Amino acid sequence: MSYKTLSCTTLTLVTGAAIFIQITGLSLFISGFFPIKPALSGVSGPDSFHPPSSDSVYDVNYTTLHPHQLKSLYQVVVIDGLPAEFVLGRDGQPPSKIFKDAMPYTQSLLANNMALGYHAKAAPPTVTLPRLKAMTTGSIGGFLDVLFNFNTQALLEDNIIGQFFRIGWKMVMLGDETWLKLFPGLFTRHDGVSSFFVKDTVQVDHNVSRHLSSELYKNDWNLLILHYLGLDHVGHLGGRSSTLMGPKLQEMDEVIKVIHMSAIQSQESDHTRTLLVVVSDHGMQENGNHGGSSYEETDSLALFVGPRSSRVSATYDTINQVDIAPTLALLFGVPIPKNNAGYLITDLFNPIEDHQLLRLLELNSCQLLRLLQAQSTYSTCGSLKDTPSCLFFDAASRHRSWKSKNDFRSANDDDFKSTVLAYNQFLRTASEQLSHTATDKPSGLLTSGIMAMLLSCVMFLGLLYKLGQEIYPKVQIHKFQLAEALVGGIIVIIVLSMGSSSLVEEEQYLWHFMTSTFFLVLLRETIKSTTGNRNRTCSQLCLIAVILFCGRLLRGWHQGGVNWTHLPDISKSLEMAGNDYLKSFQLVSLVLVISLCLYTLSSLWSKSKRYIIIVVGLSYLCGGLLVLKYIIKYQGTGVAASDNDAILAIQFIYGFSVTISTVTVIASPWLMSFQSKDLVLAIKDCLYVIGMTYIFGWCLLQLLLQQPVNSMPIALLLVQIIATIYYVSHGGSDVKQWVEIAAIYYVGMAGHFSLGNTNTLATIDVAGAFIGISSHSTVLSGLIMFVITFASPMLSLLSMVMSISMKDINALLKTREVNTSQLLKMILGFPCLVPLGINSVLLVAYTIILLLMRNHLFIWTVFSPKYIYVVVTAACVLIGVLIVASTVTYTICVAAFLVRHRHKDSISYVDAISSRGPGW
């Protein structure tokens, strides 16, 4: 194939087109597979109290459903992130002593039969927005509500807050501003606080409680909502075992006591009946995070407290979070929201007469049947005897029979129980079907999206094939070495594993194993190699040994995944050892990173470049000392979260790092190329300095943002990547550039899991996203969250600038007419196309697997969260490639301009490139 068959311009345009097609296809697929869940329009009114069939059991009276219907005060306390286990215990066992002692008044309410407590199972994703929607509408939200959690929009779906507003209730809301965004204009008074500034564990609750006494004294409201965020923030900062957890629980217990005592006084003075509802939106993992589907995250609390309660549930039954909406609606005599998928908590209506209980069950059943009829093609009872509609008509028939017998006083207790059982069977079946039925997915959008992504993938692989044949024209495709074949083999194994939910949950084992295997193969080929001198072979063997040793340490640092997180690992041992040990490891890691970067930079030392190297080295040292000062002064002291000096110190480090990196990238090509007669050497030196600046700056940023226990993995990742680059640059058994880029990429992916990340949303470090931010900013906190989560993949991508600078391209330049365009193609081709190609294959494969698994039991709990990570990883790769491409292009263009114009009389530009001797 001719060398000129693929010009740099053509390569750039086709790559850009492939990226555009991939983004378009991805957008089409996501909009089809993850649509906003459709909801029935309109709101329930008095007509909703009529059964869907013409033969109603009762003549409906909208205003009176049962004699215990509550007409007045209603108080809701939402304690964000409170696991039901803290209050009700688990598996029949009482809560641990520390939690029980922290909430004595709440425990006394349960013990004295004055409260009913339930484990309210929350559906994933376990974040605030979808959980509030579930409790107010009774419907299961779409999976992408986890993204809308950061940009809440007004809730247009029928809900109990809107129902209360329509009957003239006055409502007051204090706390999480998510309520104000969901229900704008519905509250008479409100005072919202941000739910995302997790460093605040005190003021965020004080701003709620400061209004409590005055609001309880007033009598101009019917509904008071208090949403406390401090406990959730405590969890994010320190986990379940945080020293702040006990005092925060005591604070919440005191709030419950104050409200309940006020309710008792109100009843004694004016006989007003009130209901206090204490709920949590979700639970939390041991580390305090949430978002996934584990028991600890879905175990939320539902506690119903009145001045007197008929009985208490000794076993603390489990309900669904969506059951709260229909229960509260009928308790207060308003229509059940149209899209409700929950069913009544009948214990709250005791004592109640038989015909009144059946009346409530009928109303709930009619509402669910209407929703089923709107969403299902099986709306009538035919040959399918187990369809929900058949169960409803069976229950309605039993109800009519019981009503008829009861009119003649011939009904017995068995008839009543069989009718209740029939209604409950329908309610459970209908609720389960509505909660788990997948939304209809438009096949056209899904097909178009997948085809577009397939086309993009083929374009990337085709470009790689053509580029490989041009740069390595004598290599036959079927004569790959073992290491080269393993590059593709790893992708095949990862793709095949994506179809298993267990392997998706434990993906880190595959990446660690395959990466170690890859470097073992390189070790084998290095040992077998007979070329080169003995010293170089020994140095290569040492580098491989260092890579494998660091990889083994990283493998054991976090016991990641889902099923084996309880097993011991290095990070748990360090955390148990205490803050002093953690800080020691941080300091050792920081010194290692600084020393390694300064040593690596010193390899450029020469008389002509010494001043530039000194200045850059001093900037590295200053940046490292700033981070060192912050770690010693603030981390582990308990003041970093709220101290203004700490925030200013971090912001100064941010500014210093960005400034130094920007100045180095812009100035290096001008300073180092101005006096150089050798274009290739000038480009090499500039890219080397810029690459080291990227790597060092990124590592310093991670040492500042990551959890202290992750400081050593950052240093080990840096050692692995630099060792890999040096191994290849010193011969590396003739490892080709595309194999080197793939190896660096695999190290980055294995490192992603070494930092404690998994394929569940619960391991995202929310607390770290607010380091250095004095007030909430969705954009800034989201950016920092991305930086923390994808630290390792981005580090591997940024290191490609240094890798390019050390690549020997003498053989590529020889006997060819080379200009800036062709030089860019040869230098940037593989570093851009290899990560884009690998990610394209993984993205397309997992998109197809996600479509095939659309009816799988774990589609929303395992496969969909993994897909979000795949998509964001693809975005990470695109960002990294753009940074590398723009940096290299800028450097080459500036260096070529300076060399060409300064030395145009003595040496031609083409000769400056083509006359290079062996080695780069």
Per-residue pLDDT tens over the stretch 455-493: 999 999 999 988 888 877 665 554 567 888 888 899 999
Q: What per-residue confidence (pLDDT) applies to 902?
A: 62
Q: Which residues pair with 172 in a beta bridge?
A: 189, 224
Q: What per-residue confidence (pLDDT) applies to 290?
A: 82
Contacts of 446 (CB under 8 A, 6+ apart): 28, 29, 32, 33, 851
Among 3.40.720.10, 3.40.50.1820, 3.40.50.1360, 3.30.43.10, name the CATH number for the domain at 71-349.
3.40.720.10
Specify the DSSP element, H or E, that contains 897. Answer: helix 864-902
Q: At what angle do helices 864-902 and 778-789 cross, to 10 degrees?
A: 90
**The whole model's pTM is what?**
0.76
Q: What per-residue confidence (pLDDT) applies to 153?
A: 66
Domain boundaries, the chain: 71-349, 352-440, 502-815
Q: What per-residue confidence (pLDDT) applies to 70?
A: 56
Q: What per-residue confidence (pLDDT) applies to 439?
A: 46
Q: What per-residue confidence (pLDDT) applies to 303?
A: 92
| Contact call for residues 132 and 160 (beta carbons, < 8 A) | no
CA distances to 103, 834, 839, 890 from 884, rounded to whole Å, are 55, 13, 16, 10
544-572: buried (b, 16+ CB within 10 Å) or exposed (e) per residue? bebbbebbebbbebbbbbbeebeeebbbb
48-65: buried (b, 16+ CB within 10 Å) or exposed (e) per residue? bbebbeeeebeebeeeeb
Distance CA 770, CA 776 (A): 8
Q: Which of 547, 563, 536 is nearest to 760 (CA)?
A: 563
Contacts of 104 (CB under 8 A, 6+ apart): 253
Question: Locate tokens 């780069």: which residue?
Answer: 920
Q: Dihedrals φ, ψ of 193, to 5°? A: -130, 155
Give the strand pairing for 74-79 and 299-305.
Answer: unpaired
Q: What per-residue confidence (pLDDT) applies to 791?
A: 94
Distance CA 633, CA 592 (A): 20
Q: Which of 872, 850, 671, 865 is nearest to 763 (CA)?
A: 865
Specify the DSSP element, H or E, that contains 74. Answer: strand 74-79
pLDDT in tens, 788-821: 999 999 999 999 999 998 876 555 555 445 566 7
Q: What per-residue confidence (pLDDT) applies to 640?
A: 47
Radius of gyration of the chain (CA): 32
| Contact call for residues 299 and 119 (beta carbons, < 8 A) | yes
Q: What per-residue confidence (pLDDT) applies to 411?
A: 65
Give the strand pairing for 74-79 and 223-228.
Answer: parallel
Contacts of 140 (CB under 8 A, 6+ apart): 37, 123, 134, 322, 341, 434, 435
Q: Which of 787, 813, 763 is nearest to 917 (CA)?
A: 813
Distance CA 746, CA 520 (A): 14
| Contact call for residues 835 and 799 (beta carbons, < 8 A) | no
Contacts of 261 (CB under 8 A, 6+ apart): none
Q: Which of 354, 389, 395, 386 is nearest to 375 (CA)?
A: 389
* Residue 532 backbone class (left: φ over 0; alpha: ψ -120 to 50; beta: rest): left
Q: What per-residue confidence (pLDDT) applies to 405?
A: 78
Q: At what angle do helices 644-673 and 864-902 cross, to 10 degrees?
A: 40
**Mapping DSSP to helix (H, G, I), strand (E, B) and coil, where does residue 304 land?**
strand
Query: Is the bond into 351 cis (omega within 30 degrees of 0)?
Result: yes
Q: Which of 916, 898, 827, 919 is nearest to 672 (CA)?
A: 898
Low-confidence ranges of the chain (pLDDT < 50): 1-3, 53-64, 66-68, 307, 309, 312-313, 377-380, 382-385, 438-439, 478, 639-641, 815-816, 905-920
Q: What per-residue confidence (pLDDT) applies to 437?
A: 56
Q: Which of 753, 756, 799, 871 is nearest to 513 (CA)?
A: 753
| Contact call for residues 301 and 279 (beta carbons, < 8 A) | yes
Specify the DSSP element, H or E, that contains 463. Answer: helix 443-471
Q: Which of 73, 278, 74, 80 is nearest to 193 (CA)?
A: 80
Q: What per-residue confidence (pLDDT) applies to 69?
A: 55
